[in-house]
Amino acid sequence: MLIRSRHRLSLGENDVTPESIYLSRRKFMSGVVGLGLAASLPRAALAGPDYEDVTKAKGPEWFEAQLADTRWNAITAEDKVTPFDDATHYNNFYEFGSDKSDPARYAGQLKTVPWTVAVDGEVGKPGQYALEDLITPSRFEERIYRLRCVEAWSMVIPWLGIPLADVIKRAEPTGKAKYVRFETLEDPKQMPGQASRFGLIDWPYREGLRMDEAMHPLAFLAVGMYGRVLPNQNGAPLRLVVPWKYGFKSIKSIVRVSLVESQPETSWHMLAPNEYGFYANVNPEVDHPRWSQATERRLPNSLFNPNVIDTLPFNGYAEEVAGLYQGMDLRKFY
């Protein structure tokens, strides 16, 4: 068993661990569980974790069927998981308004079934894929990741989904595919923020990754969280999660994944290029013009319990991802 320092991520646990040890370790663990652990456990240990105060919800049939075979705790963090209520009532999802409470109030009206995702560009297998066809060839994994917003708040979320690399590989990228571009649904009838005359974003919301970032084992496509289907305000039915980057890279309600030759335009960069870079790697040494990035406010917090902690390079995932940026000036490529 590899248990390392606080923010390490350990890969490679092949021992069969007695269930009682596994469960108690999950409670008190000070490291991160190996990717292979859940796969080696007896079936009974694979029942989902029971997060407190989660509003239960039934997903589509394919989601519930897939859930039964989830690799729970495939990657965990020592950090305490953020209460479900905070994770679902303090959101950024400008398609539904700019206040943190707007997504919970208005996103419920978004119709997420059926959902189709276009996969196109530099791929051998382009097409319009029903969400279930895109996701179900892979087994669900649960990954507990830190989420750090550029506004200097953070949470810890147990996501459910599959590695982004699985979807990309299945699309059979051509030799010209250098970047991956993502696009959110554009439908002002369902998304009141897109209908507002005061909106700043040029819809649809767009994001992108370099190919090697997208293929990194930590890059993840989430369809659920807290053991249930993804709530609409968190980006149902499909969102990106890139834990070493600021939260704005984690684009929600994705309808298009395009493999492209050159670096794509991204929404926040288009809006304010001097404030938001393409890379957006969490970096305590490079401040945003309005927010110091040296520390973060870990939710939930209050006036009497500010809960401010130091921000870590690459959000604590430096050992896994820093190599992707070797030789790059991270002040220039922020």
Binding site for ligand MTE (CB under 6 A): 91-95, 147, 149, 184, 205, 234, 247-248, 250-253
Q: Which is nearer to ligand MTE, 180 or 251 (CB)?
A: 251
Which residues have CB under 8 Å from 8's CB, separation 6+?
Answer: 31, 32, 319
CA distances from 317 to 16, 152, 242, 284 (A): 27, 17, 10, 13
Chain position whose Cβ is nearest to ligand MTE:
247
Q: Exposed, middle or buried by CB within 10 Å (0-12, 13-18, 19+), for 201?
A: middle
DSSP collapsed to 3 states, 249-288: HCCCCEEEEEEECCCCCCHHHHHCCCCCCCCCECCCCCCC
Minimum distance of ligand MTE from residue 134's CB (angstroms): 18
Cα–Cα distance for residue pair 153/110, rounded to 1 Å: 26
Minimum distance of ligand MTE from residue 93's CB (angstroms): 5
Q: Which is nearer to ligand MTE, 228 or 252 (CB)?
A: 252
Q: Which is nearer to ligand MTE, 22 or 205 (CB)?
A: 205
Cα–Cα distance for residue pair 36/225, rounded to 1 Å: 20
Minimum distance of ligand MTE from residue 185's CB (angstroms): 8
Q: Which is nearer to ligand MTE, 147 or 259 (CB)?
A: 147
Q: Which is nearer to ligand MTE, 10 or 196 (CB)?
A: 196
Q: Which is nearer to ligand MTE, 170 or 297 (CB)?
A: 297
Residue 82: other Cβ atoms inside 10 A: 21
Minimum distance of ligand MTE from residue 299's CB (angstroms): 9
Minimum distance of ligand MTE from residue 306's CB (angstroms): 19
Q: Which is nearer to ligand MTE, 75 or 156 (CB)?
A: 156
Phi, then psi, of 305 in degrees rounded to 5: -135, 80
Minimum distance of ligand MTE from residue 323's CB (angstroms): 25
Judge whether 211 and 173 are in contact, CB under 8 Å. Answer: yes
Amino acid occupying residue 214: A
239-241 vs 220-225, strand pairing mode? antiparallel
Minimum distance of ligand MTE from residue 192's CB (angstroms): 13
